[in-house]
Amino acid sequence: MSSISNANSGFTGTKNVIDACVECKVKRLIYTSSPSVVFDGIHGIHNGDESLPYPDQHNDNYSATKAEGEALVLNANGKEGLLTCCIRPSGIFGPGDRLLVPSLVASARSGKSKFLIGDGNNMYDFTYVENVAHAHICAEQALHSLCGSEETGAGKVIKFDFCILV
Catalytically annotated residues? 66
Nearest to 127 by CA among 119, 117, 139, 136: 136
Distance between CA atoms of residues 64 and 1, nearest Å: 7
Cα separation, 58 vs 38, whole angstroms: 8
Contacts of 103 (CB under 8 A, 6+ apart): none
Q: How far is CA 15 from the centre of its chain?
A: 16
Helix (H, G, I), strand (E, B) or coil at 85: strand
Secondary structure letter of residue 49 according to DSSP: -
